């Protein structure tokens, strides 16, 4: 039994040492290079006395980030990537939660990180990845580690303004990737085209399927996602046969009909997607131009290791029909519970809850938020058993497949990003000029709309809060009101505000 994902890398490096594992815009890393550089980093991490501790990776997206992740995993510590474009105050909040003692970064980025609230030590990637490897130390660390030790912590938006660190173990990733590689028959002949940032959990599928099977992942340059024709040309040139993207990325391609210029039939074999609703309108464009491709809708939050249900598209859908999120993955149980915490019957709507190995251990260093979402299974009064309450409202269709309907709370998905509207409200409220504000999401126009009392320009607000929240959270529209509508409970009347969208 494998207790650490790095055993996959050892196997692939033994079998296919000179094959490219990961390729970015500038360079490629073979399985052997990935293994030896990660082991060099691991040796340095172990020599700092760290075991089961967070290792922050603060680097531009590229193959070196993945080498760093593996360095942390070989040393039996867990990695947490911090996006280099994240505003300082948010980085500091993450550091407060994580309390890391070690950051892997580059010489060029070290100074920026030193300006944050961090007093721990650094490993400079360029030096550390060529340091001496001490195999015996790595073996000793791996022998101490067990499969329920953490592999990574990914931070997601938190409603109170403090990002939540979702913890995931080696076991959860091993279980998930075993399912992915079996279900989609992934082998070393396959090539992935990675879209997901490494701080977003969709990337787990690309990274670990590659490590396990000896496939190759091409890290697609971000700018191509705004240029559909060059994007498809890139897929063709690199002979990428599998993509796992957020629907927003697939929609851009469908909208501009790039397929008329680039023929991917015979190249692309699998189009998998996850992270938000995939509209059939755009999926039908993909299906029309590439009818022989396997399409699959995966569903799940970061808290259950990327995905927990799936639907392999096997019938026609009208443009306005919803695409099912399907059925549970192997070794995963889905409970759809109504407000009385009972399983729903017929077409009743309920909250999707998950049971199984895929569950996160909870939010790092945050027992309150953990207790809210990770709760005792109400259907099991006999032994302690945790389920994760996703906050997603769903129902079953006539085929016994699950249909995603909406959220129970104020979490949204905007261009593939998971955002708690409360986090934006907290940032805006911190401005001295603001007395009351409220954020809503305009689904139709795909805009974050900020309502506030008083007259303030959108450009002014966005400039002021751009140091507090990432760019993708900045409101796309600001509506100034003389008086905020208040409901009978004395709360901001969101129903009334919705009418103003």
Alpha-carbon distance of 174 to 156, in angstroms, equals 22
Q: DSSP for 359-424, please give it.
A: ---EETT-HHHHHHHEEE-TT--SS--EEEEEEEEEEE-TTS-EEEEEESSSEEEETTEEEEHHHH
CB of 323 to ligand AMP, least distance (A): 8
Angle between helices 421-429 and 458-465 (to 10 degrees): 100
302 binds ligand AMP (CB under 6 A): yes
Q: Does 203 bind ligand AMP (CB under 6 A)?
A: no
Residues 407-446 that bind ligand AMP (CB under 6 A): 407, 413, 418
Note whether 362 binds ligand AMP by CB under 6 A: no
For ligand AMP, which is the closer residue by CB, 71 or 279?
A: 279
Helices 135-144 & 63-74 angle (0-180, nearest 10): 70
Which of 64, 190, 206, 392 binds ligand AMP (CB under 6 A)? It is 392
The residue from 109, 277, 474, 492 that contacts ligand AMP (CB under 6 A) is 277
Instruction: Note whether 275 binds ligand AMP by CB under 6 A.
Output: yes
Distance, in Å, from the CA atom of 290 to the CA atom of 264, rounded to the nearest integer, reads 7
Determine the Cα–Cα distance for residues 270 and 286; give it in Å rounded to an integer: 12
Minimum distance of ligand AMP from residue 27's CB (angstroms)? 29
Q: Which of 54, 161, 301, 350 binds ligand AMP (CB under 6 A)?
A: 301
Nearer to ligand AMP, 109 or 277 (CB): 277
For 156, phi then psi, to 5°, come to: -120, 165
Mind giving me the DSSP string for 324-371? Answer: P-BEEPTTEEEEEE-TTSSB--TT--EEEEEEETT---EETT-HHHHH
The helix or strand, by DSSP H or E, that contains position 88, with its residue range, turns out to be helix 88-98
- Token pair, residue 248, equals 């927003």
State in angstroms the smallest separation of the CB of 90 from ligand AMP.
16
Does 156 bind ligand AMP (CB under 6 A)? Our answer is yes
Angle (CA) 380-169-364 rounded to 5° is 85
How far apart are alpha carbons 153 and 99 in whole angstroms?
12
The answer to whether 83 contacts ligand AMP (rule: CB under 6 A) is: no
- Counting contacts by CB under 6 A, is residue 201 touching ligand AMP? yes
Residues 6+ apart with CB under 8 A from 167: 78, 150, 152, 153, 360, 361, 362, 363, 364
How many residues form the binding site for ligand AMP (CB under 6 A)?
18
Among 198, 404, 410, 451, binds ligand AMP (CB under 6 A): 404
Nearer to ligand AMP, 120 or 322 (CB): 322
Phi-psi region of 185 (alpha: psi -120 to 50; beta: other; left: phi over 0): left
Residue 165's φ and ψ, nearest 5 degrees, are: -95, 105
Q: CA quadruple 376, 378, 383, 385: dihedral positive or negative?
A: negative
Instruction: Please state the closest distance from residue 472 (CB atom) to ligand AMP, in A.
Output: 12
Output 217 or 297, the one with its CB closest to ligand AMP: 297
Write the interaction track for ligand AMP spanning residues 217-256; mark x where CB under 6 A is met and - where it is not.
----------------------------------------
User: What is the CA angle 428-434-439, rounded to 5?
Assistant: 45
CB nearer to ligand AMP: pick between 200 and 451: 200
Binding mask 317-346 for ligand AMP (x = CB under 6 A): --------x---------------------
Residue 360 binds to ligand AMP (criterion: CB under 6 A)? no
Give whichever of 238 and 407 is closer to ligand AMP, judged by the CB atom. 407
H or E element, residue 432:
none
Q: Does 299 bind ligand AMP (CB under 6 A)?
A: yes
- Between 71 and 324, CB nearer to ligand AMP: 324
Pairwise CA distance, residues 1 & 333, whole Å: 23
Tell me the window of 93-101, 207-215, 268-276, 448-456 that interacts with ligand AMP (CB under 6 A): 268-276
Give me the least distance between CB of 267 and ligand AMP, in Å please.
24
The least distance separating ligand AMP from the CB of residue 391, rounded to whole angstroms, comes to: 6
Provide the binding-site residues for ligand AMP, judged by CB under 6 A: 156, 201, 274-277, 297, 299-302, 325, 390, 392, 404, 407, 413, 418
């Amino acid at each position: 039994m494998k207790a650490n994902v790095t055993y996959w890398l050892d196997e692939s490096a033994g079998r296919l040492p000179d094959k490219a594992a990961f390729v970015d815009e500038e360079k490629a890393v073979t399985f052997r290079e990935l293994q030896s550089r990660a082991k060099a980093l691991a040796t340095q991490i172990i020599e700092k006395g760290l075991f089961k501790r967070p290792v922050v990776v603060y680097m531009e997206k590229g193959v070196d980030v993945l080498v760093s992740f593996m360095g942390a995993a070989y040393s039996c510590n867990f990695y947490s990537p911090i996006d280099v474009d994240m505003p300082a105050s948010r980085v500091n909040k993450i550091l407060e939660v994580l309390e890391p003692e070690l950051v892997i970064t580059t010489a060029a980025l070290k100074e920026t990180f030193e300006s944050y609230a961090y007093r721990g030590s650094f490993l400079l990637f360029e030096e550390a990845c060529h340091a001496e490897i001490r195999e015996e130390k790595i073996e000793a660390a791996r022998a101490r580690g067990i499969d329920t030790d953490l592999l990574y912590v990914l931070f997601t938006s938190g409603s109170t303004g403090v990002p939540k660190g979702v913890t995931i173990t080696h076991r959860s990733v091993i279980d998930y990737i075993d399912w992915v590689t079996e279900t989609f028959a992934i082998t070393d002949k396959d090539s992935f085209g990675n879209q997901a940032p490494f701080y977003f959990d969709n990337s787990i599928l690309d990274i670990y399927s590659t490590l396990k099977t000896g496939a190759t992942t091409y890290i697609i340059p971000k700018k191509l996602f705004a240029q559909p024709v060059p994007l498809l040309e890139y897929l063709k040139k690199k002979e990428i046969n599998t993509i796992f993207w957020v629907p927003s990325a697939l929609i851009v391609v469908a909208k501009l009909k790039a397929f008329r210029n680039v023929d991917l039939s015979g190249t692309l074999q699998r189009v998998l997607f996850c992270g938000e609703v995939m509209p059939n309108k755009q999926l039908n464009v993909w299906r029309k131009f590439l009818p022989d491709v396997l399409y699959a809708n995966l569903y799940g939050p970061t808290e259950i290791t990327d995905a927990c249900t799936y639907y392999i598209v096997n019938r026609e859908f009208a443009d306005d029909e919803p695409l099912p999120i399907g059925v549970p993955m192997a070794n995963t149980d889905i409970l759809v519970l109504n407000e009385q915490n009972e399983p729903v019957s017929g077409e009743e709507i309920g909250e999707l809850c998950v049971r199984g190995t895929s569950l996160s251990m909870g939010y790092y260093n945050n027992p309150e938020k953990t207790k809210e979402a990770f709760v005792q299974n109400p259907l099991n009064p006999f032994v302690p058993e945790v389920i994760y309450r996703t906050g997603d409202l769903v129902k079953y269709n006539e085929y016994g497949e699950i249909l995603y309907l909406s959220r129970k709370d104020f979490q949204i998905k905007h261009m593939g990003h998971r955002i708690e509207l409360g986090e934006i409200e907290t940032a805006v409220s911190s401005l001295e000029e603001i007395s009351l504000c409220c954020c809503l999401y305009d689904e139709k126009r795909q805009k974050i709309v900020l309502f506030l009392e008083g007259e303030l320009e959108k450009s002014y607000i966005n400039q002021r809060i751009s140091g507090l929240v990432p760019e993708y959270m900045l409101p796309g529209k600001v509506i100034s009101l003389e008086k905020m509508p208040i409901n009978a409970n004395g709360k901001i009347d969101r129903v009334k505000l919705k009418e103003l969208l």
